[in-house]
């Protein structure tokens, strides 16, 4: 017969002490350990009041009862809190920009909300970055001039007083040159707005006063109207950021428009006006398909930017194309800048004979030119070339 198993184990203290001496000794220890004094009523009430106090503290400081939420709810709450913080920070940033823009001057009137001046990547480069990247001297400053239009002769000879930002002025001052070269003569801005906008839209020319009311862009705006608005922003209101915003809108709406070159020219001018020479050079470097499509003026600008960046070989090829006329007709004063720039690049590349020949040619062709004094000093001095 199979022995039945006892249902309940026998405790040590219930065993026979004589037959199980070891268990009886363990029972003695267990009896001693069994002595526990219950909590006094005062201790019980103290514990309860402490628990209730912790509960009230938890509800008061626990974030509206977040402690009662489950794990998923807490996770969702944390994600929502992060999103809220990010959006709040973004909104505060936008508000700060608006406040700063309002404090700096009147906002451009009647500008579509999408064309408001926003933070363009080109405007984020600080003056310090531009100044640090400035190469050594003996390179002509990149002349910031208005690009010519197809009819430069009909442009009104209005003197342009572009208030350049401090970064741009500093970059131009520290730009490499043989001597502190005089700034490029201010060219009359043959505005594309003057050339194309009236013809395209048949509307009167916008008011020349910067603070005057500007015509609101038609909706949907035509390509010429967008480019014209960018030019007005850039040359009359002197607001390069607004111009860049308008050009961004143009790039979105007309990615392959017929005025792409004009838009590119305006964009480069706006970026240079903001003092971001690096971005301007990057924009022009991206258009290396053919200098003929780029135009002589943009090729000349690119050559000067490359020389300012220390890329003398590439600048020399650009200068040579401009001087030889392969890049197309030049704006007034462009050949003078090209000839002097090529001489500087040749001097930097240790081609002294060719540099001297260019300097002599400059002296012969432009005896009263803007670089005449510098060329004369170089030719008469000990140095035989613009190389320092």
Partner 1 sequence: MKPFAPLATPSARVTVPLPKADVGVNRPPGTLDFDRVYQAHAQTVARWAARLGGPGVDAEDITQEVFVVADRRLREFRHESQVATWLFSITAKIVANDRRRRRIRRWWLRLTPNAGHDRAATTDSPLEQLERRERRRHFYEALDGLGERQRRVLVLFELEGLPVAEIADLTGLRAGNVRVLLHRARAAFLKRMTARELSESLARPDPSDASDPSDPPARTEERE
Contact positions vs partner 1 (CB under 8 A): 8-9, 11-14, 17, 22-41, 43-44, 46-48, 50-51, 54-55, 58, 67-68, 70
Distance CA 122, CA 114 (A): 18
DSSP, res 40:
P
Provide the 10 A C-beta neighbour count for residue 355.
Answer: 23
Give min distance, CB of 52 to partner 1, in A: 8
| Residue at token pair 């801005």 | 189
Q: What is the CA radius of gyration of the chain?
A: 39
Q: How is residue 65 written in tokens?
A: 């009862």
Distance CA 146, CA 230 (A): 13
Give min distance, CB of 67 to partner 1, in A: 6
Per-position b or e across 97-123, b if 16+ CB within 10 A of its CB: eeeebeeeeeebeebeeebbbeebebb
**Closer residue to partner 1, CB minimum distance, 17 or 110:** 17
Distance CA 201, CA 33 (A): 102
Per DSSP, the three-state class of 137 is coil
**Closer residue to partner 1, CB minimum distance, 32 or 289:** 32
Give min distance, CB of 116 to partner 1, in A: 51
Distance CA 332, CA 173 (A): 23
**Closer residue to partner 1, CB minimum distance, 17 or 81:** 17
Give min distance, CB of 10 to partner 1, in A: 10
HSE-up of residue 212 (Cα within 13 Å, Cβ side): 10
Distance CA 98, CA 56 (A): 44
Give min distance, CB of 80 to partner 1, in A: 22
Q: At what angle do helices 312-324 and 296-308 cross, to 10 degrees?
A: 150
* H/E run at residue 356: helix 352-365
Distance CA 223, CA 200 (A): 9
| Cβ-Cβ contacts under 8 Å for 374 (sequence gap 6 or more) | 177, 178, 179, 181
Give min distance, CB of 17 to partner 1, in A: 7
**Closer residue to partner 1, CB minimum distance, 34 or 364:** 34
Give min distance, CB of 1 to partner 1, in A: 22
Give min distance, CB of 63 to partner 1, in A: 14
**Closer residue to partner 1, CB minimum distance, 29 or 85:** 29
Distance of alpha carbon 97 from the chain centroid: 15
Distance CA 373, CA 178 (A): 11
Distance CA 207, CA 193 (A): 12
């Amino acid at each position: 017969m199979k022995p039945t198993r006892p249902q309940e184990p026998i405790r040590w203290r219930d065993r026979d002490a004589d037959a199980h001496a070891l268990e009886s000794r363990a029972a003695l220890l267990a009896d001693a350990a069994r002595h526990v004094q219950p909590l006094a009523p005062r201790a019980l009430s103290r514990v309860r009041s402490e628990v209730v106090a912790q509960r009230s503290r938890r509800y008061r400081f626990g974030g509206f009862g977040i402690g009662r939420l489950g794990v998923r709810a807490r996770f969702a709450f944390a994600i929502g809190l992060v999103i809220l913080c990010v959006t709040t920070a973004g909104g505060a940033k936008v508000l700060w920009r608006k406040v700063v823009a309002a404090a700096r001057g009147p906002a451009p009137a009647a500008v579509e909300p999408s064309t408001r001046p926003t933070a363009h990547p080109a405007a984020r480069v600080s003056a310090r970055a531009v100044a640090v990247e400035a190469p050594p001297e003996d390179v002509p400053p990149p002349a910031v001039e208005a690009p010519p239009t197809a009819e430069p002769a009909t442009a009104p000879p209005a003197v342009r007083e572009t208030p350049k930002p401090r970064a741009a002025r500093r970059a131009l001052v520290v730009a490499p040159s043989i001597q502190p070269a005089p700034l490029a003569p201010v060219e009359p801005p043959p505005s594309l707005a003057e050339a194309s906008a009236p013809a395209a839209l048949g509307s009167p020319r916008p008011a020349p006063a910067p603070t005057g009311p500007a015509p609101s862009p038609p909706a949907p705006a035509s390509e010429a109207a967008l480019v014209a608005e960018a030019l007005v922003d850039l040359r009359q209101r002197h607001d390069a950021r607004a111009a860049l915003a308008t050009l961004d809108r143009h790039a979105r709406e007309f990615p392959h428009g017929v005025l792409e070159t004009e838009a590119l020219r305006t964009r480069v001018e706006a970026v240079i006006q903001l003092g971001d020479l690096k971005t301007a050079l990057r924009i022009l470097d991206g258009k290396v398909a053919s200098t003929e499509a780029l135009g002589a003026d943009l090729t000349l600008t690119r050559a000067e930017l490359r020389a300012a960046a220390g890329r003398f070989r590439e600048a020399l090829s650009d200068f040579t194309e401009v001087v030889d006329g392969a890049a197309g007709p030049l704006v007034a004063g462009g050949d003078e800048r090209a000839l002097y720039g090529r001489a500087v690049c040749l001097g930097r590349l240790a081609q002294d004979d060719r540099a001297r020949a260019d300097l002599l040619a400059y002296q012969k062709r432009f005896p009263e030119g803007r670089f005449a004094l510098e060329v004369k000093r170089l030719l008469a001095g000990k140095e035989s070339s613009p190389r320092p």
